Amino acid sequence: MGTPRIVLISTGGTVAAQSTTDGAVPRLSARDLLPDDLAPEIVPVDLMSVDSSAMTTGDQFAVAGAVEAALADPSVDGVVVTHGTDTLEETSYLVDLCHTDDRPVVFTGAQRTSDDPHGDGPANIAAALAAATDPGQRGRGVIVAFGGEVLSARGLFKASTTDLNAFDTVHDRLRRQTLNGHVSTAPPRRVDALSLYPGVSPGLIAAAVSQQVAGLVLSATGSGNTHPDITAEVTAAVRAGIVVVVTTRVPFGEVVPTYGGGGGAVDLHRAGAIVSPWLRAPQARIAIVALLSTGATADEVGAFFAASGPA
């Protein structure tokens, strides 16, 4: 067998950032991020140089498109994407939905800037390159190499703002679901995410509907519960053709409709909302964007979430 050929796609983030008087700013190129001792053949690609918090949905789709383009070359054995940690959970999951190839796609990044004397970026990149050339990682979908761990993108969330082991998962064996394998060239559909809390204004939902959103994700309390006034707005939104998905702000555990009382998940489900048992708001939102952008119906979105549990 020949030397593995890896495409490294750089998007910016802390791993490419240097400290300035105005804060950390991405400055390094993909080539700058390459280790000095190159075991595999690595092809650097500078896609963008932004903080991931500043990414648009269009930028995230561009990352998915760049991964797809890299894998169109049959000589490529795997892809590594360096990405900011703030929205890595969303972009990696979007790529996972579009990724039907068995070749590894690995996301990584850093918690500390590239000029930090104790920076974690080089070790994370080395781990990502190793994972991208590991035959045992084939067929897993998109994975994330970070802080000494290799995690599935499905169910991923950022668990710490400072720890080098920055990510955790809702469940480590969520079923791999893919769409049509091709990134849509149409503008992504707009989907908003709203946090629900005691005293939240029901008018927030009406305002989003008036601004012609295609979908809404409600990050509710407990196992998908909220105030009864929200249920009435959900009913109106669903009648207006808006896809509404309910998840929870709780990090772990399955969301199971259990409570009524007018604003429980049982009531929201009866009002037409789709319950996301495992995917939390960031990943639920990007899933709806991807689904609606490929022409999925509300029933198809519901079937997707119903099948998103452990394999």
pLDDT tens string 163-173: 999 999 999 99
Which residue type occupies 26? P
Question: Is residue 225 domain-shared with residue 165, that is, in the same domain?
Answer: no
Whether residue 213 is predicted with pLDDT greater than 60 in this model: the reply is yes
Residue 52 marked as a ligand binder: yes
pLDDT tens string 249-279: 999 999 999 999 999 999 999 999 999 999 9
| pLDDT band at residue 134 under the 50/70/90 scheme | very high
For residue 101, give its domain range: 5-169
Question: Is residue 165 domain-shared with residue 196, that is, in the same domain?
Answer: no
pLDDT score, position 35: 85
Is 185 inside any structural domain? no
Q: What global pTM score does this model have?
A: 0.96
Question: Is residue 165 domain-shared with residue 205, that is, in the same domain?
Answer: no
> Does residue 162 have an active-site annotation?
no
User: Which member of 85, 108, 169, 221 is catalytic?
Assistant: 85
Q: Which residue has the higher pLDDT, 44 or 36?
A: 44
Question: Is residue 121 domain-shared with residue 223, that is, in the same domain?
Answer: no
Question: Is residue 35 domain-shared with residue 153, that is, in the same domain?
Answer: yes
pLDDT tens string 122-132: 999 999 999 99
Residue 86 marked as a ligand binder: yes
Structurally, the chain folds into a number of domains equal to 2
pLDDT score, position 17: 97
With 0-12 / 13-18 / 19 or more C-beta atoms within 10 angstroms meaning exposed / middle / buried, residue 117 is: exposed
Whether residue 182 is predicted with pLDDT greater than 70 in this model: the reply is no
* Residue 200 contacts residue 235 (beta carbons within 8 Å): no
Question: Is residue 199 domain-shared with residue 155, that is, in the same domain?
Answer: no
Is 255 inside any structural domain? yes
Distance CA 178, CA 67 (A): 15
Average pLDDT for 91-115: 97
Q: What is the DSSP string of 41-62?
A: EEEEEEEEEE-GGG--HHHHHH
Nearest CA to 224 out of 281, 169, 172, 173 is that of 281
| pLDDT band at residue 39 under the 50/70/90 scheme | low
Residue 85 marked as a ligand binder: yes
Question: Is residue 108 domain-shared with residue 249, that is, in the same domain?
Answer: no
Is 184 inside any structural domain? no
| pLDDT band at residue 7 under the 50/70/90 scheme | very high
